[in-house]
């Protein structure tokens, strides 16, 4: 089963939290934020019109991250969650330098918790090519993976297939089977979901790997970090915090609306963000 933490004890104060991803995958992080921080105002941008990030060069990802950050700050975000492993690896340092007065929380593959959970020390990491090739990922491995056997599995096309909105499509199932096969052969007992899209097909990944393999998703850890950081922020307007979460997309609005309706259990409003 996916590793999750117990819900957090939320404070009555609220903040306006902006979240962005290359597409709809970051909704898995938005879901955790709402569960643990229900009083906060949530804003989200799916950059589906410019996805996938995992197969783009670093400069492209940095520029898109700047554009989305600017939009969220203009809409009132007090803290930004970069809910994309590839964008975190490529752009979060530049964003922090350019917006020194704003807190940024990135996401990264859960190597450290996976090592703590693993019985055998054989750990699989499913992620995009961009994440696995990044300097940030190499530093993460160097810091935490001593003694563990990491089996890195680039999952080309999987995030894009999930992005279409049907987590049970034949294409998604075929890709999951393809990318879990090497991990089964390596006899891993723990697998890191290194892309925020992947929790939405966790049930298929679990089925393909077997019940004895533990899956690690870091969405709850991100929510805990955000809770720590919003303590020092001024409280957002109470009426604004009570409104539905606002979601934009640079891609197809109907797809975002459909996916949000399927994957989220709280009220949202969806909007088109003109391609910028």
**Catalytic residues, which ones?**
84, 195
Burial of 4 (0-12, 13-18, 19+ CB in 10 A): middle
Q: Write phi, then psi, for 42 (nearest 5 degrees).
A: -115, 130
Beta-sheet strand order (sheet of 149-154):
2-3, 214-216, 190-193, 122-127, 149-154
How far from 6 is each of 9, 219, 252, CA to CA, in Å? 9, 12, 34
Residues making up the binding site for substrate:
21-22, 53-54, 85-86, 196-197
Per the annotation, binding residues are 21-22, 53-54, 85-86, 196-197
């Amino acid at each position: 089963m996916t590793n999750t933490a117990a819900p957090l004890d939320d404070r009555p104060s609220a903040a306006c939290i902006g979240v962005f991803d290359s597409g709809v995958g970051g909704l898995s992080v938005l879901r955790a934020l709402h569960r643990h921080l229900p009083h906060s105002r949530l804003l989200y941008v799916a950059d589906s019109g410019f996805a996938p990030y995992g197969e783009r060069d670093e400069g492209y990802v940095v520029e898109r991250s700047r554009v989305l950050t600017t939009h969220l700050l203009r809409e009132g975000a007090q803290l930004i969650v970069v809910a994309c492993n590839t964008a975190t690896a490529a752009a979060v340092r530049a964003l922090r330098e350019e917006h020194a007065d704003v807190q940024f929380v990135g996401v990264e593959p859960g190597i450290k918790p996976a090592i703590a959970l693993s019985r055998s020390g054989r750990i699989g990491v499913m992620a995009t090519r961009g994440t696995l090739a990044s300097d940030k990922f190499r530093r993460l491995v160097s810091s935490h993976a001593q003694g563990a056997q990491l089996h890195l599995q680039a999952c080309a096309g999987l995030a894009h297939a999930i992005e279409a909105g049907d987590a049970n499509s034949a294409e998604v199932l075929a890709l999951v089977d393809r990318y879990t096969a090497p991990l089964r052969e390596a006899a891993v007992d723990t697998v890191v979901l290194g892309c925020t899209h992947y929790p939405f097909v966790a049930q298929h990944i679990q089925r393909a790997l077997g019940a004895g393999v533990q899956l690690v998703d870091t969405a709850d850890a991100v929510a805990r970090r955000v809770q720590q950081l919003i303590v020092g922020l001024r409280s957002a307007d109470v009426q604004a915090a009570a409104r539905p979460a606002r979601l934009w997309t640079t891609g197809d609005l109907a797809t975002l609306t459909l996916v949000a309706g399927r994957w989220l259990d709280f009220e949202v409003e969806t909007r088109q963000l003109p391609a910028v």
